[in-house]
Amino acid sequence: SSSAPGFRAIRALPARAPEQHCPSAERPALVTMGNGLCSPVTNSSSVEDEHSAIAQVDSPTMLAETKTQDTTIIDDKPSIDLKPLEEKKPEVPKAEVPKVEAPKPADAPKDTSNSKKTQMEMFTHHFGAKAEDDVGKLVRRPSTVGADLEQYVEKHKQKFADVLALESEAGWTYVKTVDGVNVYKKAVENSDFICFKGQTEMEFPKGMNDAVRTVLQAENRPQFDDMCTEGVTHQNLMPWYRVTQYFVNMPALFNPRETLTTGRACFMDDGAMVVSVENFVDPQIPIRAGYVRVKFIAGGYVFRPLNEACTKFRVTWTGSIDPQGWIPTWLANLVAPKQALTLAKLRVWLESKEKGTA
């Protein structure tokens, strides 16, 4: 047979299929703030006020401003390498690539997997022998009555796994660093909205107890979240769960929002504490007049100790929220990354508390 110009005739071999390109990281399916179609919801009559204002906000001028955001184009075309002819060898099944964790600091806690502690042992080690008091008058969730904590954590293990997946670097786009807080965003497959993440290192001299209680106590939130005007703890049954409600202001022309969430905690073998946060519904907690209740879809916190004394942590705060009502998608995506910067405000507040100026 004839050969192509510039190439010497060679023995014909069966055509080899081009190598398949595989993305470096698979994006987990998450959701973010906003409702994609900007369709109304029925959970509050106050959304009608936003309908008349939406035409002013969704103007060509404002929409044009959103197009100035940087985008990164990734060339994922399949590539073909020209290689010398080789003797065809039988295919060998590919081994599963092991997960590689980021290197830990020299003074990081030692691996205690050989002497694994129970969830209750880890909880009492950090928070004391007595569990949290029952705050509030909500009926205790039946799944926690007389249940073993190990079984309870096992039941919700996928929620904790989802938060840990968000802690990793895979799939995130770096936005900026402000006051030591790295801010990231992530597009979500089959969704018009983004997910936010903030990561920073913080010191809590009193240990894990101080870190978790300070960050998760709803009443503290207005101190380090500029949008939050009020936080309420409706029920606190840790190490099982807690129910909290937050009230937040929104940009002009939009009604204020509120969110009702439940959080659950789990300790990992390396000493990290994972707190999953999700939307909560309870008829005993009605929507406040004039507010629109948002939907917290996925996210949470990771408190990862970085030293043996357990006084220095890498804190991760991530999530995706649907604000409901008539807020446009572009505005929801614009506001979302700002939630990550609450960690920077938290550090400033903590420092002022130490100095006695808070």
Mean pLDDT confidence for 18-25: 45
* pLDDT at position 19: 45
pLDDT in tens, 120-171: 999 998 988 655 556 677 888 888 888 889 999 999 999 999 999 999 999 9
Lowest pLDDT segment from 29-33, 157-161, 170-174, 188-192: 29-33
* pLDDT at position 139: 85
Asked if the peptide bond before residue 14 counts as cis, ω within 30 degrees of 0, the response is no
Bigger pLDDT: 117 or 268? 268
d(CA 181, CA 163): 18
Mean pLDDT of the chain: 75
pLDDT band of residue 46 (cuts 50, 70, 90) is: low
Query: Has residue 233 got a pLDDT over 90?
Result: yes
When mean pLDDT is compared over 110-114, 312-316, 344-348, the highest value belongs to: 312-316
pLDDT in tens, 290-339: 999 999 988 999 999 999 999 999 999 999 988 888 888 888 888 888 89
Mean pLDDT confidence for 6-26: 45
How many Å separate Cα 72 from the centre of its chain?
22
Give Cα separations from 190 to 25, 28, 193, 225, 248 (angstroms): 17, 11, 9, 30, 28
How many Å separate Cα 129 from the centre of its chain?
30
Bigger pLDDT: 100 or 352? 352
* pLDDT at position 115: 58
d(CA 341, CA 178): 7
Bigger pLDDT: 101 or 31? 101
d(CA 95, CA 246): 47
Whether 184 contacts 173, CB under 8 Å: yes
pLDDT in tens, 252-288: 888 999 999 999 999 999 999 999 999 999 999 999 9
Give Cα separations from 46 to 97, 141, 229, 257, 279 (angstroms): 52, 31, 18, 10, 20
